[in-house]
Amino acid sequence: MRFSYNWLKEMALGLATEPRDLMNLITLKTAECEGLHKVGQHFSQVVAAKVLQVEPLGSGRNRKTLIDAGPLGQHTVVCGAPNCRPGVITVWVPPGTRLEDQVIGVASIDGVSSAGMLASGRELGINRDHEGILEIEAEPGALIPGCQPDFVIEVDNKSLTHRPDLWGHHGMAREVAAILGLVLRDPVHLTQLPQGASPFRVSVEDSALCPRYSALVVENVQVRPSPLWLQYRLQAIGLNPINNVVDVTNYVMAELGQPMHAFDAEQLAGDTIFVRPARDGEPFDALNDESYRLTPAALVIADKQGAIALAGVIGGKHSAISQTTTKLVLESANFQAANIRRTSVRLKLRTDASQRFEKSQDPANTVRALARAVELLEIVSPGCRVCGGVADAAAERPLPPPIELPVDWLIRKLGREIAPEQARQILEALQFGVDQPSPRVLTVRVPSWRATKDISIKDDLVEEIGRMIGYDTITPTAPVVPTTPPYQDPRRSFLRRLRHLVAAQGFDEVYNYSFVSEELARRFELDPEKHVRVANPISVEQGLMRQSLIPGIWRNVVENSKHWDQFRLFEIGFAIHPRAGSLPEEIPHLTAAIYSRTGDTELLFEMKRLAECVLEGCELRPCPAHGYEHPARTAEVLWREQVVGRLFEFHPRWVETGRAVALDLNLATVESLGKREKRYQPVRRFPSSAFDLSVVVPRRTLVGDLEKVIRQLAGADLDRVTFLRQYEGPPLEEGLKSVSFRITVAAPDHTLSNDEVSAIRERMIRGMRAQGYELRV
Amino acid sequence: MVESQLESLAQSARERIGAAATAEELEAVRVEVLGRKGALAEISKGLGRLSPEDRARIGKLLNLAKNELEALLERRKQEFEEAALRAKLEAEWVDLTLPAPGPRPGVLHPLTQIQEELEDLFTSMGVVVLDGPEVETEYNNFDALNIPPDHPARDMQDTFWLTDGNCLRTHTSCVQVRGMAKLGPPLRMIAPGRVFRNEEVDPSHEHTFYQLEGMMVDRNVSIAHMLYFMKTLLRHIFGREVTVRLRPGYFPFVEPGFELDVQCLICDGQGCPVCKHSGWVELLPCGLVHPNVLRMGGIDPEEWSGFAFGLGLTRLVMMRYGIDDIRYLQSGDLRFLRQF
Ligand SMILES: [Zn+2]
């Protein structure tokens, strides 16, 4: 929302604060200002001038023009505008004037020295017309009537979400007057509104959707451009001047916050305006040249033939004001915020009107706006006449109950002292009604423009008083709180330990998005239909919620392999799985990768080492591979007899520049297996003995399996089994390997004798042979 | 006669020991002179033929010569050993400027680092750290935070909706709802985490970023308490005293609501491009918890009150390290991540 400083000054009487200081005050006390713009600074220099002579110049459009600027003398100006002709009064921009960030000088054009320029409405910031020079009525040499240098303060719309009253200058002027202690002038004169019956009737079907609809008929109107001051005002705050009638409705909206619409009365069928839900499929041609098919969810304004406006959003094309319009129906209505918002969101049609209505406008404002509009119409179209009185369909609206504000409660909320008198003064400056039933209690009546949504409870009044008294007057104070150690979420602690552990092993942490594309999901053999799906994704890349962290990590590998010969990275994040009847399940995963341009099997074992660092005593069990996994280098990770993840090398087609190994652990499963109670075992007191065993087995026999067999056979006296080496080659037959282990044995109560050790060894050799293993003894 | 023989023998042995160039030559001298069949042994064999006085005298001389030569030999031997060791060690020369192999500790993501730092700070202040899901119900994300359907405040956060009717949380504020249900009053909690907004990505906008929500509910919590808490937090974050200001800000789940600005740390409030020449940087939306929110959290607002705030972790990381492109944070690009 853009606010004109001059406009505010018309209502906040005596406003003399510098625009920049005012902007800061508004930011600190009311709403966030985003910027301050100088507007029309040239109006202190540009003057009216009469064109005296026009001579052709060269072959182009430019012509040599002699102008008379009254007391400022006659000047030669080169001008290319088609409407530049003798006798016309236009605007002369003298040399030295800054116009649109450019200083206008004396320029030589086509061999003629041109002193300054003649300007169009757009160049002057009065309207958007650039077809020709602006034609005005004024004495040559005079400043442009009604156009003064101004400043525009831009306020962040978001910070006005709860303030319907601040969508017009009058509301902001009220704030300014309260902040600075100025007198607020009301631009509305309700007494000027004629009384009597209206020639039009208004029929509102559902007063919940339309709490008030006020209309007034005005005839004998002449449609033409607005006076310059009116065009300039609208242009300055970003509204496009169109014609005097439309401009008046926009002016009133910008001043009072009340959106208005003017219908061409001759184009309406019948003498009743209906406010009703649209019929299913009802066509509607809007002023923006779009055609809509409506549903009953939308509220329309209709005559007896059909929709003439989409309530609170946009007017219809057919009944729009045209050059030939002479009789108007002025609409000033109030609509339910939620309904307008839904319609505008559904049709993707945000207008100045819908933006205001969705903030819950004040129904008391409709008739005020009509009064103001009539007053302005009489200025911009002299001779126009109001027909009858206001047709006003207004639902009964009970006054909101007054709010009881105990001053001691207020003090506790603010955290500083405040006298009841001061609180009262602040509220009254903001035009609240205040009674004081007892010395330390105020009873506050909320003005209608703050009562629609904004203020209904005493907490809302804390803000009113706090912001006006100044939050900088509150001294920070330490709260008195119990000193108990806070609860610690075990999962958080677990994930945090894990992050540090994995990083300490040389892995860099990455964060990937929670989204995945359908295509990528499919490539990783995940069914897109079984994913949680985004209904309104930014792009197809972000259509699904990730069910696995592997695609993201794979992408990280591919991208980083362009810059590094080798790296390790990991992510701890959530895989999101749909769950019928409740929120999706968010399963924490650890997914890590090692990449090397030249590495080979050692990468797998380094990753296995990481798995063992995370899960002490975990095992790998080779398993069938997915398409993106190396068919002979893929295993499940087992921990405490449960599958908790996978460790695999990426299929070489997926990582073409080197090799990459990944580990993916389901941390929810890991966490569920929990910590084990630790129990003390007595330290061995008697020395151990060791012997080696070598088993000859087929090449792909798993060393892990052999070790298990050895453990079983060793019996109670086993201390540990250590893998020593494996060997393939002569004298072994092709396809066989020899695997050597060192077996360490010890007894808890004595030193094992040589005979005992030999007995264990013999027993194991027999046992292995019985299971069909060949031993090299 | 024997004496002169002994003396010349000893003299010659001394010279040979001194002249020996290797440990072997030295050993040869030892065998020849001090060995079982060496020259001294020979002389000692002849002692029997001498008179008792001569025997005693010569025997003494013989011992003296033997001790002296043994000591000489031992010293020389040690010299040779020393030299040999020196030579061996010298041969073991290693270029220690060569790079050390093996991985270095990895780097935690800057967002993890700042998050942990803040978690530690809050935990030390007795605050509970909570988590909430990335996918939330519409109720928890909006309604329970006093943002009913069709409330224009829903525009303040472009929302990703899921086909099942849930949404991706647009703020960590939803954890307020969960925290009130889980902890009950009085409570002090924070909830860091990932949030989502349906926004096109550019250097300063992301659809995925990180926030930290904070909430305190107790009896008689005031704006003054909130200010104290915020100042403590900011002093810790920036490692120095910061000047703050509160101004009105609208968030439906707080009343009154504020924007907390920090005096620009780059220019100390003098005005610079970072603060858009205002001297202030908007940092922390906050406010007193709206009574409706307390009520929806099962807490009686007549008895309890509280404050809540939201801290943009992503923004904080960018400020701390001067990161000018938000997209780096989720790029997985190690050229970026290894800098932290
Ligand atoms: Zn600055």
Instruction: Please provide the DSSP assignment of A277-300 as one string.
Output: EPPTT-EEEBTTS-EEE--TTSEE
Is residue B167 scored above 70 in pLDDT?
yes
Q: What is the mean pLDDT of residues B240-262?
A: 92
Residues A559 and A707 in one domain: no
Look at residues A151, A179, A185, A238 and name the one whose alpha carbon lies nearest to residue A31.
Answer: A179
Q: What angle do CA B146, B152, B157 make, to 5 degrees?
A: 80
In a domain, A139, yes or no: no
pLDDT at A777: 67
Residues A161 and A100 in one domain: no
In a domain, B105, yes or no: no
Beta-sheet pairing, A89-93 with A106-109: unpaired
Is residue B153 scored above 80 in pLDDT?
no
Cα B112 off chain centre by = 13
Whether B314 and B108 have beta carbons less than 8 Å apart is answered as no
The interface pTM score, or ipTM, of the predicted complex is 0.85
In a domain, B133, yes or no: yes
Taking CA atoms, B119 is separated from A253, A496, A572, B114, B234, in Å, by 49, 11, 18, 9, 14
- Residue A540: pLDDT band (50, 70, 90) is confident
Question: Do residue B337 and residue A28 have CB atoms under 8 angstroms apart?
Answer: no
Which residues, 6 or more positions from A279, have their beta carbon under 8 angstroms from its beta carbon?
A: A294, A296
Calpha distance B204→B326 (Å, rounded): 6
Question: How many angstroms is it from A34 CA to the middle of ligand 1?
Answer: 16
Range with the lowest mean pLDDT among A4-8, A123-127, A514-518, B100-104?
Answer: B100-104
Written as six digits, the tokens of A641 are: 């007899």
Distance from CA of A453 to the nearest CA of B (A): 10
Residues A640 and A715 in one domain: no
Residues B75 and B131 in one domain: no
In a domain, B98, yes or no: no
Calpha distance A94→A86 (Å, rounded): 19
Look at residues A213, A532, A147 and name the one whose alpha carbon lies nearest to residue A366.
Answer: A213
Calpha distance B221→A414 (Å, rounded): 9
Is residue A45 scored above 90 in pLDDT?
yes
Calpha distance A515→A538 (Å, rounded): 11
Residues A619 and A706 in one domain: no
Written as six digits, the tokens of A419 are: 């006298």
What percent of chain A is modeled with pLDDT above 90? 87
Question: Do residue B256 and residue A567 have CB atoms under 8 angstroms apart?
Answer: no
Helix A407-414 crosses helix A420-429 at what angle (to 10 degrees)?
80
Residues B10 and B124 in one domain: no
Whether A78 and A65 have beta carbons less than 8 Å apart is answered as yes
Cα A358 off chain centre by = 18
Whether A543 and B313 have beta carbons less than 8 Å apart is answered as no
**Residues of A with Cβ-Cβ distance to B227 under 8 angstroms:** 415, 474-477
**Residues of A with Cβ-Cβ distance to B206 under 8 angstroms:** none
Whether A462 and B256 have beta carbons less than 8 Å apart is answered as yes
Instruction: Compute φ and ψ for A527, nearest 5 degrees.
Output: -80, 115
- The residues facing A51 across adjacent strands are A67
Calpha distance A335→A361 (Å, rounded): 8
Q: What is the mean pLDDT of residues B160-183?
A: 93
Residues B116 and B264 in one domain: yes
Closest CB to A586 among B133, B248, B337: B133
pLDDT at B275: 81
pLDDT at A27: 95
In a domain, A67, yes or no: yes
In a domain, B162, yes or no: yes
Looking at residue A414, which CATH number applies to its domain? 3.30.56.10
Looking at residue B127, which CATH number applies to its domain? 3.30.930.10
Question: Do residue B164 and residue A457 have CB atoms under 8 angstroms apart?
Answer: no
Question: Do residue A576 and residue B153 have CB atoms under 8 angstroms apart?
Answer: no
Task: Quote the DSSP letter at residue A4.
Answer: E
Looking at residue A27, which CATH number applies to its domain? 3.30.56
In a domain, B77, yes or no: yes
Looking at residue A740, which CATH number applies to its domain? 3.30.70.380
Q: What is the mean pLDDT of residues A599-611?
A: 94
Residues A70 and A17 in one domain: no
**Residues of A with Cβ-Cβ distance to B225 under 8 angstroms:** 415, 477-479
Closest chain B residue to the Cα of A552, Cα to Cα: B332
Residues B73 and B204 in one domain: no
Residues A204 and A303 in one domain: yes
Last residue of a domain, one of B63, B91, B119: B91
- Tens digits of residue pLDDT in A482-495: 777 888 888 999 99
What percent of chain A is modeled with pLDDT above 70? 100
Residues B79 and B168 in one domain: no
Calpha distance A37→A688 (Å, rounded): 89
Mutate to test the interface with A, among B114, B197, B250 (most CBs of A within 10 A): B250
Residues A84 and A118 in one domain: yes
In a domain, B100, yes or no: no
Look at residues A384, A325, A336 and name the one whose alpha carbon lies nearest to residue A358.
Answer: A336
- Residue A461: pLDDT band (50, 70, 90) is very high
Distance from CA of B173 to the nearest CA of A (A): 17
Question: Do residue B134 and residue A574 have CB atoms under 8 angstroms apart?
Answer: yes
Name the domain count of chain B. 2
Instruction: Compute φ and ψ for A608, nearest 5 degrees.
Output: -60, -40
Helix A458-469 crosses helix A420-429 at what angle (to 10 degrees)?
90
Whether A202 and A393 have beta carbons less than 8 Å apart is answered as yes
Calpha distance A632→A394 (Å, rounded): 80
Residues A386 and A266 in one domain: yes
Mutate to test the interface with A, among B221, B225, B290, B336 (most CBs of A within 10 A): B225
In a domain, B96, yes or no: no
Question: How many angstroms is it from B249 CA to the middle of ligand 1?
Answer: 21
Whether B303 and B92 have beta carbons less than 8 Å apart is answered as no
Calpha distance B88→B109 (Å, rounded): 48
In a domain, A703, yes or no: yes
pLDDT at B274: 76
- Residue B156: pLDDT band (50, 70, 90) is low
Q: What is the mean pLDDT of chain A?
A: 94
User: Considering Cα of A330, then A335, then A337, then A343, what sign does the dihedral take?
Assistant: negative
Residues B126 and B81 in one domain: no
Beta-sheet pairing, B187-196 with B128-129: parallel
Residues A51 and A195 in one domain: no
Whether A31 and A164 have beta carbons less than 8 Å apart is answered as no
- Residue B65: pLDDT band (50, 70, 90) is confident
Closest chain B residue to the Cα of A511, Cα to Cα: B330
Looking at residue A577, which CATH number applies to its domain? 3.30.930.10
Residues A595 and A667 in one domain: yes
Structural domain of residue B226, as residue ranges? 110-337
Question: How many angstroms is it from B283 CA to the middle of ligand 1?
Answer: 13
> Could you identify the residue written with the tokens 């008030």?
A212
Name the domain count of chain A. 6
In a domain, A376, yes or no: yes
Question: How many angstroms is it from A472 CA to the middle of ligand 1?
Answer: 20
Which residues, 6 or more positions from A763, have their beta carbon under 8 angstroms from its beta carbon?
A: A713, A715
Question: How many angstroms is it from B273 CA to the middle of ligand 1?
Answer: 6
In a domain, A369, yes or no: yes
In a domain, A718, yes or no: yes
Residues A116 and A211 in one domain: no
Q: What is the 3-state secondary structure (H, E, C) of chain B?
A: CHHHHHHHHHHHHHHHHHHCCCHHHHHHHHHHHHCCCCHHHHHHHHHHHCCHHHHHHHHHHHHHHHHHHHHHHHHHHHHHHHHHHHHHHHHCCCCCCCCCCCCCCCCCCHHHHHHHHHHHHHHHCCCEECCCCCEECHHHHCHHHCCCCCCHHHHHCCCCEECCCCEECCCCCHHHHHHHHHHCCCEEEEEEEEEECCCCCECCECCEEEEEEEEEEECCCCHHHHHHHHHHHHHHHHCCCCCEEEEECCCCCEEEEEEEEEECCCCCCCCCCCCCCCCEEEEEEEEEECHHHHHHCCCCCCCCEEEEEEEEHHHHHHHHHCCCCHHHHHCCCHHHHCCC
Looking at residue A310, which CATH number applies to its domain? 3.50.40.10
Q: How many CB atoms lie within 10 A of CB A480?
A: 9
Residues B182 and B234 in one domain: yes
Beta-sheet pairing, A689-698 with A774-776: antiparallel
- Tens digits of residue pLDDT in A699-730: 999 999 999 999 999 888 899 999 999 999 98
In a domain, A485, yes or no: no
Residues B55 and B131 in one domain: no
Residues B61 and B118 in one domain: no
Cα A542 off chain centre by = 17
Instruction: Compute φ and ψ for B22, nearest 5 degrees.
Output: -135, 165
pLDDT at B254: 95
Closest chain A residue to the Cα of B111, Cα to Cα: A511
Q: How many CB atoms lie within 10 A of CB A717?
A: 17
Written as six digits, the tokens of B300 are: 């009686």
**Residues of A with Cβ-Cβ distance to B128 under 8 angstroms:** 486-488
Q: What is the mean pLDDT of residues A139-155?
A: 95
Residues B60 and B166 in one domain: no
- Tens digits of residue pLDDT in B20-58: 888 888 888 889 888 888 888 888 888 788 888 888 888
- How many A/B residue pairs have CB atoms within 8 Å? 244
Distance from CA of B136 to the nearest CA of A (A): 7
End-to-end CA distance of chain B, in Å? Answer: 90
Written as six digits, the tokens of A712 are: 């079983």
Distance from CA of B288 to the nearest CA of A (A): 8
Residues A301 and A382 in one domain: yes
Question: Do residue B107 and residue A413 have CB atoms under 8 angstroms apart?
Answer: no
Written as six digits, the tokens of A200 are: 């039009």
Structural domain of residue A555, as residue ranges? 490-512+547-673
In a domain, A120, yes or no: yes
Taking CA atoms, B157 is separated from B154, B171, B197, B198, B284, in Å, by 6, 9, 6, 8, 16
Beta-sheet pairing, A689-698 with A736-745: antiparallel
